[in-house]
């Protein structure tokens, strides 16, 4: 099984999604309220990977179930640095996923792009949940 880092770096979002716990909580760098659930988290990941240009992880720190994956990318030509803070559950799935980014101008660009996509992100999450309930996929 791929690690989350390997899955994201290879853009294998199915493998990344397989590493998410059903009850994951996603904490965005641009929205106050956390997003609960695998479907919305996976939909956000699938869209943000399209928004980021030249995305790559540059460092990884681990302490038991806690992992910090530091990344660099571009948004609208602006350099952005961020960190994915992951907390694994007993099954080895990601139960808590918090993202922080800097600098502010690049974070604002990220917020604008993701905000413009959010209706589609929600629709994608609802579709994934419906497929999951029907036993398909």
pLDDT band for position 133 (cuts 50, 70, 90): low
First to last CA, the chain: 19
* Percent of the chain residues topping a pLDDT of 90: 89
HEC-encoded secondary structure of 2-30:
CCHHHHHHCCCHHHHHHCEEEEEEEECCC
d(CA 121, CA 126): 9
Output the pLDDT for position 137. 46
pLDDT-derived band at 1, boundaries 50, 70, 90: low
Q: Residue 15's closest CA among 32, 2, 29?
A: 2
**Is the per-residue pLDDT at 67 higher than 90?**
yes
Map out the domains of the chain with their CATH numbers: 4-122 (3.10.450.50)
Q: Whole-model pTM?
A: 0.91
Half-sphere exposure of 26 (CA within 13 A, CB side): 19
Whether pLDDT at 73 is above 60: yes
Q: Between residues 132 and 114, which one has the greater pLDDT?
A: 114
Contact at 8 Å (CB) between 52 and 73? Answer: yes
């Amino acid at each position: 099984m791929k690690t989350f880092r390997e899955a994201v770096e290879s853009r294998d979002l199915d493998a990344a999604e397989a590493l998410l716990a059903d009850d994951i909580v996603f904490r965005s760098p641009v929205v106050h309220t956390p997003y609960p659930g695998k479907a919305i988290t996976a939909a956000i990941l699938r869209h943000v990977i399209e928004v980021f240009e030249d995305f790559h992880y540059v460092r990884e720190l681990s302490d038991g179930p806690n992992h910090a994956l530091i990344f660099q990318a571009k948004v609208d030509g602006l350099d952005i640095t961020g960190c994915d803070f992951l907390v694994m559950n007993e099954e080895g799935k990601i139960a808590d996923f918090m993202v922080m980014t800097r600098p502010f101008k690049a974070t604002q660009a990220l917020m604008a792009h993701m905000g413009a996509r959010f209706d589609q992100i929600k629709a994608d999450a609802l579709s994934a949940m419906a497929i999951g309930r029907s036993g398909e996929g």
